[in-house]
Structure 1
């Protein structure tokens, strides 16, 4: 599965934007749309991309409602979108960064 296909799956295969726009968002988060998706390495960046896309839709709620038609009012759609953004943000925070440094509970009070 390519990164672009995985992104579309995470967005419930809704065509909010064109593939070129999705690829731009992926590129901004360091992902290549045609590369095979690797969950162990790319998960955090993929969720960040999903967040960025949904955040852009929160700024254009009419576009969101034109694709996702189950909401009767704009306020319902906006509320759902904000809850989804909060959920994704929690997922992003829960995924550890890929840094070589290990965190320690020991901190030096004095050092030369």
Structure 2
């Protein structure tokens, strides 16, 4: 039995159901990555864009650690919160790069330094 879920609800799941921002703000982040909050989530075609949205939300929190720490209470220092957030961003970036784009190729973290 397949269960359908909206794109907004799937985004919230990836963010561990933390209320960093309002649904309206999440909807804006989703639309910036060509996703519609009320659409039914389809992993096969939306996964990369969803992870990019998660990355964007967490990246914005890296610029507002006070907001992040007010919701994530297990961090006693700003440094701990920042380190956790940076690790999470790195992990998400790796996931994004591992997902094939519409041409079926994956991106690489490595670029040619020299080209003839």
Count of residue correspondences: 101
One of 88, 100, 116 as aligned partner of 1:96: 100
Residue 104 of structure 1 corresponds to which residue in structure 2? none
Unpaired segments of 5 or more residues in structure 2?
106-116
TM-score by length of 1: 0.88
Once residues 103 and 39 of structure 2 are traced to their aligned partners in structure 1, the CA distance between those partners, rounded to angstroms, is 22
1:64 maps onto 2:58 in alignment: no
Once residues 26 and 59 of structure 2 are traced to their aligned partners in structure 1, the CA distance between those partners, rounded to angstroms, is 13
Q: Cα offset for 1:4?
A: 0.2
RCO higher in 1 or 2 (8 Å CA, sep ≥ 6)?
1
Residue 82 of structure 1 corresponds to which residue in structure 2? 86
Q: How does 1:4-43 map to 2 (within 5 A)?
A: 4-43=8-47
Aligned-CA RMSD value: 1.1
Which stretches of structure 1, 4 residues or more, deviate above 4 A after TM superposition? none
Q: Cα offset for 1:99?
A: 2.2
TM-score by length of 2: 0.85
Q: Cα offset for 1:100?
A: 6.9
Unpaired segments of 5 or more residues in structure 1?
102-112
